Amino acid sequence: MSGSAEPAQPYRMWGGRFRAGPDPRAAALLESLQVDRFQFLLRWDLLGSLAHLAALGEAGVVPPDVFDQLARGLRKMLADVEAGTLTPSDGYEDIHSFIEGTLTERLGPVAGWLHTGRSRNDQVVTAFRLALKDQIQRLAEKICELQDATLGRARALTEVILPAYTHMQRAQPVLLAHQWLAYFWMLGRDFDRLRDAFRRLDVLPLGSGAIAGSGFPVDRAREAALLGFAAISENSIDATGDRDFVFEVIAVLTGLLLHLSRWAGELVLWMTQEFDFVSLPDSLATGSSIMPQKKNPDLLEHVRAQAAVAAGPLVTVVAVLKGLPAGYSGDLQEDKGATITAFRAANFAVDAMTLVIREIVVHRERMAAALRGGFLTATEVADYLVRRGVPFRDAHFLAGRVVLAAEEAGVALPELPLAAYRNVSPHFDVDVLQAVTPEGSLRTKDVPGGTAPRRVTEALTAASGLLAVQRAWVGQARADQQAAEARLLAAARA
């Protein structure tokens, strides 16, 4: 008799109608445990199981002694997960079989009661929605930190003027604070879209079963309250097969990363010797393996790439969902891997940009020097004439003539003699020389959203107000989830 033993069979939640177990090669391909580990999906699945158990107990579906044993078992697993002493091990098909298998090892056959009236279809999407709610809250808080860093630097640099660019050509003078506030408001829209996606995500699918609904009278509204969901799904077929929320969240993350990619790309450009507007401290730069003189903005280049990293999962989800019939299909298992990739990209980019904006060195003198070239205040010449009754189209032409005169003289517009202005038009007076300075140009942009100093000060105040509102939402979302978990643990106390 051989001393070898048959290898242990992995725990599975199905198999009664099968004559043989799955081919190990196929099982390895279908296994989703590595994906399910994403950001404590185990924890969220345990909370979903506790809510389901509470509903089963309150409906009288499971005997009181069974309820007590399962409640103690699930709570102990949850405590072990939070202590870091329990992590999914190989040999299980997914996180759900790991939970039930671990309970079976600890409690015996009584663990088989837990899946009463529930399918992995509604189980997984419940845990996934909970995990994504948590991820959105975490990312939203990070976005607030980046916005806060942006506001802090903008307030400290309110007097710095630099050229703004259109078509990558010098266009008009703006305050650096105004330039960076542009990205603050982009991030504000990203936060708002994330919050809006959270609202549609905040729907409980548990109780939908595999596709037709649970076969037991569980109180779904009660389950929603215990898990912190704002509503319950309206249709069991839609609930188990719906991945709109995945598409929407990844789309929002891609939009966020597009904004950060633009900002990172701009800063990389500003760090070239040709611009030299900003630089990174040595602690945030990298070198070259062959060129000793190099100081590379690798961190920003990686930020710039993350939009492409997230765009791939977005296309994946679109392609998976296209033409998929209603209800659950195995194709939907690709949703978590895609979401993990997108969140990793977003978290990396926001963290990196926050670090960069806090530490970036601004070269004020280089920005000031760049204001001298390119005749940035030519529009002020035309506007000056309009204020003296010249139609804008004529004023635009005359301003072009002034630019030609300055170009031929090799001087900037504020240095062009008044006589040269008057050779172009008798409407010019001595005050035009002040109007065409960068400071004079800024003062005229005195409209809401403009770059005039007082308007930028107003914008900083408005931005601070928006940031306070955003942080309040994150705090409330966190408090709501914590309160729901407290109710859940009380309801599932053995």
The values of phi and psi at residue 217, to 5°, are -80, 60
**Cβ atoms of residues 159 and 367 within 8 Å:** no
Residue 425 CB partners (closer than 8 Å, separation 6+): 385, 390, 398
Determine whether 52 is an active site residue. Answer: no
Compute, in degrees rounded to 10, the torsion defined by CA atoms 457, 458, 462, 463.
-30
Q: Report CA 10 to chain centroid distance, whole Å.
A: 37
Residues 6+ apart with CB under 8 A from 87: 37, 42, 81
283 is catalytic: no
User: Which is it for the CA torsion 153, 158, 159, 163, positive or negative?
Assistant: positive
Nearest Cα neighbor of 361 from 143, 145, 160, 187 is 160
Find the length of the chain: 494
Report the candidate in 213, 155, 148 with the shortest Cα–Cα distance to residue 184.
148
CA distance 21 to 7: 13
With beta carbons less than 8 A apart as the criterion, state whether 173 and 443 touch.
Answer: no
Under DSSP, is residue 300 helix (H, G, I), strand (E, B) or coil?
Answer: helix
Structure tokens at 381: 């010449």
Which uninterrupted H or E stretch holds 169?
strand 169-175
- Contact (CB, 8 A) for 88 and 95: yes
Residue 232 phi, psi dihedral angles, 5° rounding? -110, 155
Closest to 382 in 3D by CA, of 402, 396, 401:
396
Q: Are 131 and 201 in contact (CB under 8 A)?
A: no
Looking at residue 114, its amino acid is L
Catalytic residue among 2, 167, 283, 289: 167
- How far, rounded to the nearest angstrom, does the alpha carbon of residue 123 sit from its chain's CA centroid? 25
Kindly give, in sequence order, each residue whose CB lies less than 8 Å from that of residue 460, ignoring residues fewer than 6 positions away. 151, 154, 155, 158, 177, 181
Handedness of CA 66, 69, 72, 77 (dihedral sign): negative
Beta-sheet pairing, 278-279 with 231-232: unpaired
Pairing between β-strand 231-232 and β-strand 203-204 as defined by DSSP bridges:
parallel
Q: Name the active-site residue from 288, 289, 441, 464.
A: 288
Asked whether the beta carbons of 73 and 81 are under 8 A apart, the reply is no
The residues carrying an active-site annotation are 167, 288
